[in-house]
Amino acid sequence: MVICGYHAVEESLRSGSRGSLLFSRAGERIDSLKELARAGGVSARFVSAKELTRICGHDRHQGVVLLSEPSKTPEKKNLQDALTTIGGSNPLVLMLDELNDPHNFGAILRSADQMAVNLVVTTIRRSVSETPAVIRASAGASRFVKVIPVANLVQAMEVCKRNHFWIYGADISGQNLQAQGFHGPVALVMGGEYRGLRRLVRERCDFLIRIPTRGQVDSLNVSVAAGILLYEIRRQQGFPGFP
């Protein structure tokens, strides 16, 4: 996998990614990446900026690229097992219903990391997966947020319910966010960019919620809405475990 950009490369190295670090300039920031690479057993070498552009397919690499090796022993991901291992009295799960745009996914993962989301659930079909664009948009946060793809989101919601989660779906027809309380285990469901929550997903939610707005367009960008909702959930929970 080709990972471009300083922050995405830095967080990938911090998360233990292996591979080869390529850089085209000198400086303190690059030196710090080289130290991280050396500590993690990642080789580092100088190449031209033109070569980095060729590898990335664009010139927005900030002079650094990580050619990341795939994991030799991929982790088996099971939703029930993952929910069982979540500790604390206020676990938070984010469920994405057929999200397609890598920049939205990356931005959502960045918010999920900042708001201490325990788990992100995506659908296997018709959804974006972790790509270099997602890693870059998340500023490397995708390497720290646990993501589990599932074949059927409705069934995944039922698994969450059996584990005592309340399911909140973000929908324009929902109750005003100001009137809603978030306590205990919470699973927030966000719809895709074009059609929002699918009917069956919407029907399985315990509550439908909306962000009060007063603009001229019909809705917020999904990544912006996710950040607002995640913040409000954690705020009502008292930011458990936050410094």
pLDDT one-digit tens code per residue, 169-190: 999 999 999 889 998 999 999 9
Angle separating helix axes 102-114 and 222-236, nearest 10 degrees: 10
Neighbour count for residue 154 (Cβ, 10 Å): 13
Q: Which of 125, 67, 133, 68 is nearest to 106 (CA)?
A: 133
- Judged on CB neighbours under 10 Å (0-12, 13-18, 19+), 40 is middle
Q: Check residue 206 and give its pLDDT.
A: 96
What is the DSSP secondary-structure string of 159-201? HHHHTTPEEEEEEEEEEEGGG----SSEEEEEEBTTTBS-HHH
Q: Check residue 71 and give its pLDDT.
A: 53
CA separation for the pair 117, 145 (Å, rounded): 8
pTM: 0.78
Q: Name residue 9's amino acid.
A: V
Read off the tokens for 110. Answer: 């960045």
pLDDT by residue for the chain (243 residues), tens only, comes to 888 888 888 888 887 778 888 888 888 888 998 898 888 888 888 989 998 889 888 888 888 888 887 654 445 578 999 999 998 889 999 999 989 888 999 999 999 999 999 999 999 887 777 777 787 777 777 778 999 999 999 999 999 999 999 999 999 999 999 889 998 999 999 998 878 899 999 999 999 999 998 887 767 899 999 999 999 999 999 999 898
Q: What is the pLDDT of residues 102-143, one digit of tens each?
A: 899 999 999 999 999 999 999 988 777 777 778 777 777 777
> Given its phi and psi angles, is residue 27 left (phi above 0), alpha (psi -120 to 50 degrees) or beta?
left
CA separation for the pair 64, 20 (Å, rounded): 11
Domains for the chain: give ranges and CATH numbers: 2-68 (3.30.1330.30), 79-236 (3.40.1280.10)
CA separation for the pair 175, 210 (Å, rounded): 6
Pairing state between β 19-23 and 43-46: parallel
Separation in Å, CA 217 to CA 36, 171, 198, 212, 221: 45, 15, 21, 13, 10
Q: Check residue 70 and give its pLDDT.
A: 63
- Judged on CB neighbours under 10 Å (0-12, 13-18, 19+), 179 is exposed
Q: Check residue 75 and give its pLDDT.
A: 55
Q: Check residue 73 and give its pLDDT.
A: 44
CA separation for the pair 229, 211 (Å, rounded): 8
SS3 of 114-151: the string is HCCCCEEEEECCCCCCCCHHHHHHCCCHHHCCCEEEEC
CB contact set of 28 (below 8 Å; sequence gap of 6+): none
Separation in Å, CA 74 to CA 69, 70, 77: 12, 8, 9
Q: How is residue 73 annotated by DSSP?
A: S
